[in-house]
Amino acid sequence: MNFEEKAQSWLKSTKLSSSARKQIKDLKGDPSAFEDAFYKDLAFGTGGLRGIMGIGSNRINEYTIAMATQGFANYLKEMFPNEKIKVAIAHDSRNNAELYTRVTAEVFSANDIFVYLFKELRPTPALSFAIRALKCHGGVVLTASHNPKEYNGYKAYWNDGAQLIPPHDEKVINYVKSIHTIDEIKFDKKSDLIKYLDDTIDNQYIDMITSLSLNTPQKNKASNLNIVFSPIHGSGVTLVPLALKKFGFENVTVVSEQSQPDGNFPTVIYPNPEEAEALEIALRSAKNINADLVLATDPDADRVGIAAKNTNHEFELLNGNQTAVLLIYYLLRKWKENKQLKGKEYIIKTIVTTDLISAIATHFKVDCFDTLTGFKYIAEKIRKLENTNTFIGGGEESYGYLIGDHVRDKDAVMSCAMIAELTAWVKEQNKTLFDLLIDIWMEFGLYQEGLISITKKGKSGALEIERIMKTLRTTPPTILNNFFITDIIDYANLTHLKTKSKKIISIDSPQSNVLQFITENGSKISIRPSGTEPKIKIYFSVHSSLKSRSELKARKDKLNSQISKLSTSLLKHF
């Protein structure tokens, strides 16, 4: 079915509103936009269903949300026959979130599925926790994470509180694709199957986070740590301040300009704590009150960005790799000091996250596992090991972290609390987070990472990304930055090629459209199309020794130069 036929099938639906009908007819006046809206169906990626809001099968709207829900409902009923199926649903602050949440709940209930519904916006990790606490078979959170205001999305969760992974995600999409008309969706809600949650789940979730504390602030001199927090107009405002208070932090200033939930995100260009611009207001506030730490969460509060004072007592942003390194080091050190390491503990990171974490884990004699990008793969590993081994913590370079296994997705609420505890612990020693980071680099090696994202929008962009990946596979570079490539790891074909011996080793991993090149000097380059945005992402990782603080700048400059040269030489092969 081509895009015109697909649009026509929508127009024939008796359940399509007059408003939606008019939007489709108006869209025909712009042939390019019309094709882009209907040329394909939205598909589940690493973050679920995500796209620009608007009419069309390739857009987020109440009908694509309803189709996804109907497909998910059909699959749940197949997988759990003769059971009273239960799901939990939450949403963040994005525009239309309440509408999409209502539609999701109504379609589930129309399919005789019991729905637990958060009555107000809540962080994504709270939804993950609720699924497990309420013994649900699945769940949904309506969010587009840190994407621009034009976006919304639909994250589907399984009964372990983790996002859908293969084969579940593919089977749900197949069920969605089997729905040929909007008329096949069950919209007639059953109100008695929809229950609004009270604050019981919130309290249980916060109690769980509080139990993770390893060095309670009440017992140290840094309980007066001065913190500035920004929810960037999102759901973090509902639970992050409460979690910090439970950890003993009383001096928490919430950025007033960004405290009100608002899907237009009026004070930022992107509601993304990875972007320095999103933390500008929080940093101004921190400087005015001489704060020790700045924390900022994205709209659904699963990612956190931080800023702390460097060795010159000036605020500096930490990137996702640096924060992950600090958290993992702190967790492992405290577990060792508390004599909690028994030999079966482990941590997890993704294949594009700094290998410095692996070096730290080796030092503490704790296993470190690598997974594909996407926190659902970290959750999958936790599920496989939950009955035999103990998960301490893990994370990814894109500002997502998790401590303990009660939640099965990245969790900025617990991360904020643990980062504050870590900062208090460092302050007790008259150090900064950056002092600790330098200590770690001197002990384990200086690792430097870089990332470039190339945006390719629309149908033509998707084809261009496909061409780039095909070119890199069929005619890969042999040299990058004057160093021979010794290893080519292809997660689509699940092969690891040793270029010198031509030996091919099989990889034990789910398939994914990811390529990695490793050079003879240990540099690692990873290339992957984004699962949630029209981008191709290229990750660079280089490292060297660091013998003294005085050589830090020179060493960093040299590593950054290596990344720049690697980037230039790789792009020539596009």
What are the pLDDT digits (tens) for 513-522? 999 999 999 9
Domain assignment of residue 10, yes or no:
no
Q: Are residues 501 and 426 in the same domain?
A: no
What was the pLDDT predicted at 297? Answer: 98
Task: Note the pLDDT of residue 223.
Answer: 65
Report, as an integer, the average pLDDT of 427-439: 94
Domain final position from 142, 175, 198: 198
CATH for 234 = 3.40.120.10
Residue 6 lies in a domain: no
Which of 423, 444, 465 is the last residue before a domain boundary?
444
Burial of 310 (0-12, 13-18, 19+ CB in 10 A): middle
Residue 260 sits in the same domain as residue 390: yes
Contact 120, 196 (CB under 8 A): no
Which range has the worst mean pLDDT, 75-79, 163-167, 203-207, 564-568?
163-167
Counting Cβ atoms within 10 Å, is residue 229 exposed (0-12), middle (13-18) or buried (19+)?
buried
Residues 299 and 402 in one domain: yes
Do 456 and 428 reside in the same domain of the chain?
no
Q: Are residues 248 and 180 in the same domain?
A: no
| Same domain? 136 vs 239 | no
Domain span including residue 112:
40-198
Q: Is 3 among the domain residues?
A: no
Residue 68 and residue 48: Cα distance in Å, rounded?
10
336: three-class secondary structure by DSSP: helix
Rounded Cα distance between 517 and 520, Å, is 10
**One domain, residues 223 and 333:** yes
The confidence score (pLDDT) of residue 289 equals 95
Domain end residue (candidates: 398, 414, 444):
444
13 is a domain residue? no
Catalytic sites, residue numbers: 145
Is residue 398 within 8 A of residue 379, CB to CB? The reply is no
Query: Could you tell me if residue 291 is inside a domain?
Result: yes
Report helix, strand or coil for 350: strand
Same domain, 244 and 178: no
pLDDT digits (tens, 9 = 90+) for 189-239: 999 999 999 999 999 999 999 999 998 655 555 568 999 999 999 999 999
- Quickly count: other Cβ atoms within 10 Å of residue 279's Cβ: 27
Residue 34 within a domain: no
Q: What is the pTM of this model?
A: 0.94
Judge if 277 and 401 occupy the same domain: yes
Q: What is the pLDDT of residue 497?
A: 97
Taking the C-alpha atoms of residue 419 and residue 306, their distance in angstroms, rounded to an integer, is 9
Q: Are residues 106 and 166 in the same domain?
A: yes
Q: Terminus-to-terminus CA distance in the chain, angstroms? A: 32
DSSP for 51-96 reads: EEBSSSTTSBSHHHHHHHHHHHHHHHHHHSTTS--EEEEEE-S-TT
Asked whether residue 384 falls in the same domain as residue 247, the answer is: yes
Task: Confirm whether 398 is domain-assigned.
Answer: yes
Residue 332 has, within 13 A of its CA and on its CB side, a CA count of: 26
Q: How many domains does the chain have?
A: 3
The average confidence (pLDDT) of the chain is 94
pLDDT at 306 over 60: yes
CATH number at residue 482: 3.30.310
Choice between 43 and 283, residue whose per-residue pLDDT is larger: 283
For residue 285, pLDDT beyond 90: yes
Given this model, what pLDDT does residue 224 score?
83
Cβ atoms of 487 and 520 closer than 8 Å: no
In a domain, 102, yes or no: yes
Instruction: Identify whether the C-beta of residue 227 lies closer than 8 Å to the C-beta of residue 253.
Output: yes
The predicted pLDDT at position 218 comes to: 54
My answer on whether 186 and 127 are in the same domain is: yes
